[in-house]
Amino acid sequence: MTAANFDAVRGANLGTPPPLPEGGLRIIPLGGLGAIGRNMTVFEFGGKLLVVDCGVLFPDTADQPGVDLILPDFAPILDRLEDVQAIVLTHGHEDHIGAVPYLLAHKSDIPLVGSQFTLALIEAKLAERRITPYTLTVAEGQRERLGPFELEFFAVNHSIPDALAVAIRTEAGLVLHTGDFKMDQLPLDGRITDLAGFARLGAEGVDLLLSDSTNAEIPGFVTPEKEIGPVLGSIFHKAKGRIIVASFASHVHRVQQVLDAAEENGRKVALIGRSMVRNMGIARDLGLLRVKAHQVVNLEDAANLPPDEIVLMSTGSQGEPMSALGRMATGDHRHITIAPGDTVVLASSLVPGNETSVYRVINQLARAGATVIHKDVAKVHVSGHAPAGELLYLLNVVKPSNLMPVHGEWRHLRAHARLGVESGVQADRVVLCEDGDVVDLVEGHAKLVGHVKSRYVYVDGLAIGDVGESLLTERRVLGDGGFIAVTVVVDSVTGKVVGGPMLSAKGFSEDPAAFDPALPLVTDALDKAALEGVTDSHQLQQIVRRVVGRWVNEAYRRRPMIVPTVLEV
């Protein structure tokens, strides 16, 4: 579908979807469209549901202050959990598995289907919540039938081991969901994306392709992971002091390269961060991470080694304030203080939306005297997602009748849609969606047929879903403009001011006399209201709010939160 046609459909205000036609397959993305994260897609056929991925989105600290995680909205399927045949997990990244514990809190016996490493990661996460899941371990080349859904799994290369694509066969047709993938031809583990398998599906006839869009704007082909190892080796060889490497806690291949570079340069490695320690322990137990005897030391032993004999492998590559590297940057880490002579390597790409946080951490580290190396100055990371050249390759191999770009912001989805049309997919067979849209595959044609409510569900401490947009707006106002409380005592009969006004402020001005000019304005406005016969306390509070708000705006060009209290005596 062209952008113009899509906007026309969107402008038509999609309503409640009609009943699914007999023999049709319904696809409802509940996350992963319009943002990088919160990936979750629901498939419906014959009255049964299949969920592919169930991940979290990490909040923007400026727009979503105080929020810990953002979940998909489970509401569209909560009354149908008995119909869910399984949750298929394409790989073990948090944006694909992180919301599973929250969904299983509603029904703990929904089967989880995934590769060995993926299930090991989610089982460890669920164990912390005392949930023992039903699991089915699958591998590439394997087929499984779950209700009316026949699944076939394919190896794909990504920035985590054991990633899978899944083909879903029903009587409505054949759907291929790539999950996250790239086409590294020289992967560190020798496990390449199964193009031969995809070509076989293409020959069979793929009715709908759901494909990773993250790097659809980037031309060309991905750089092999093998090129990162020598760069890390060179950095380690030149470093004279302590080395700190930050990466995703699930990037086993990057940790392996760090271990190898450390070994070559006579350094020990200490893993920092709970998720890093847990995930690498799982990877080692499964034989996915090669660790030589005595090569890894604990943090206490690392502190006693000379700086030129240690590498610290840490979480926090996305600037997360509470991560190990984030706390090092602010000087809040219990064991590690950044010092001149340290070399910090950020071995990851920037997830869209995290740029400000990452560069803040880089500046804090540089201020403390560290040499900071990131992907803009050295080849210390390559993306785990296929760029445009590889997406075109996949489109030409699979030859889908319909394309639905997934996993990306709007610019990524549109770029992927253009690639689809260029590769020969008919424009009216390219379905651009946002979370909550409902797509029906009927007689080989995928069409947008309606929309279900799909809001952001915020996790705030132990509260899930209690925080809404209005509360976040209040938090942003508090953060930007501060807080002013005004208390006035009025006569309950006449409405005249008999006490105050008293004004206190937080996060606005440190001058206790800053608001003195506003106080007589409040008194005059309330006395005028009394003469006009206004005695309702709510109306009087609104008068106070308007008067103080107008004065603050004129005097300071600020819009703080103003909370008036009118007491009657």
pLDDT at 204: 96
Is there a cis peptide before residue 501, judged by omega within 30 degrees of 0? yes
Helix axes of 274-285 and 116-127: crossing angle, nearest 10 degrees:
140
pLDDT at 472: 57
Q: Which two tokens stand for residue 312?
A: 């610290």
Q: b/e map of 553-565 (b: 16 or more CB within 10 Å)?
A: eeeeeeebbbebe
Q: Which residues contact 312 (CB under 8 A, 6 or more apart)?
A: 242, 243, 244, 245, 269, 270, 272, 302, 336
Q: Which residues contact 95 (CB under 8 A, 6 or more apart)?
A: 32, 36, 37, 38, 39, 55, 56, 57
3-state SS, residue 169: strand
Asked whether 459 and 536 are in contact (CB, 8 A), the reply is no
Q: Which two tokens stand for residue 509?
A: 């001005």
The DSSP element (H or E) to which 325 belongs, if any, is helix 324-330
Fold classification of 226-373 is Rossmann fold (3.40.50)
pLDDT in tens, the chain (569 residues): 444 454 444 545 678 999 999 999 999 999 999 888 899 999 999 999 999 999 998 766 556 656 667 889 999 999 999 999 999 999 999 999 999 999 999 999 999 999 999 999 999 999 988 999 999 999 999 999 999 999 999 999 999 999 999 999 999 999 999 999 999 999 999 999 999 999 999 999 999 999 999 999 999 999 999 999 999 999 999 999 999 998 888 899 999 999 999 999 999 999 988 889 999 999 999 999 999 888 999 888 888 899 999 999 988 656 455 567 778 888 778 788 888 989 999 887 666 556 677 778 888 888 888 898 887 778 888 889 999 999 999 999 999 999 999 999 999 999 999 999 999 999 999 999 999 999 999 999 999 999 998 888 877 655 565 565 666 565 555 656 677 788 888 777 666 777 778 887 777 666 777 777 888 888 888 878 877 777 777 788 888 888 888 888 787 777 777 888 887 77
Neighbours of 531 (CB within 10 A): 11
Alpha-carbon gap, residue 2 to 5, rounded angstroms = 5
Q: Which two tokens stand for residue 150?
A: 């026949």
Alpha-carbon gap, residue 210 to 395, rounded angstroms = 11
Alpha-carbon gap, residue 299 to 335, rounded angstroms = 8
Tell me the three-class secondary structure of 7-35, residue by residue: HHHHHCCCCCCCCCCCCCEEEEEEECECE
pLDDT at 354: 62
Residue ranges of domains in the chain? 3-12+21-220+383-452, 226-373, 469-568
CA distances from 489 to 186, 437, 496, 502, 564 (A): 76, 53, 9, 9, 11
Helix axes of 228-238 and 252-264: crossing angle, nearest 10 degrees:
40
Asked whether 90 and 164 are in contact (CB, 8 A), the reply is yes
Strand arrangement of the beta sheet that strand 243-246 belongs to:
268-272, 310-314, 243-246, 343-346, 371-373
One-character DSSP codes across 442-470: ETTEEEEEEE-----EEEETTEES---HH
pLDDT at 363: 87
What backbone torsions phi and psi does residue 175 show, to the nearest 5 degrees? -115, 135
Asked whether 407 and 368 are in contact (CB, 8 A), the reply is no
Q: Which two tokens stand for residue 475?
A: 């938090």
Q: Which residues contact 425 (CB under 8 A, 6 or more apart)?
A: 395, 400, 401, 402, 403
Strands (E), 278-396: 310-314, 343-346, 371-373
pLDDT at 248: 85
Burial class (CB in 10 A: 0-12, 13-18, 19+), 258: buried
Identify residue 488 by its one-letter amino acid code: V
- Choices 3.60.15.10, 3.40.718.10, 3.30.1330.10, 3.40.50.300: CATH for 3-12+21-220+383-452: 3.60.15.10
Asked whether 98 and 41 are in contact (CB, 8 A), the reply is no
The DSSP element (H or E) to which 537 belongs, if any, is helix 537-556
Using only C-alpha atoms, the chain has a radius of gyration, in whole angstroms, of: 28
Identify residue 168 by its one-letter amino acid code: I
The DSSP element (H or E) to which 392 belongs, if any, is helix 388-398
Q: b/e map of 394-404 (b: 16 or more CB within 10 Å)?
A: bbebbbbbbbb
Q: b/e map of 110-132 (b: 16 or more CB within 10 Å)?
A: bebbbbbbbbbbbeebbeeeebe
Helix, strand, coil % over all residues of the chain, rounded to 5: 35, 25, 40
Identify residue 410 by its one-letter amino acid code: W
The answer to whether the 3-12+21-220+383-452 and 226-373 domains have the same CATH topology is no
Q: 366 forms bridges with which residues in the sheet?
A: none
Query: Length of the chain, please?
Result: 569
Taking the domain 469-568, which CATH number applies?
A: 3.10.20.580
Alpha-carbon gap, residue 487 to 499, rounded angstroms = 9
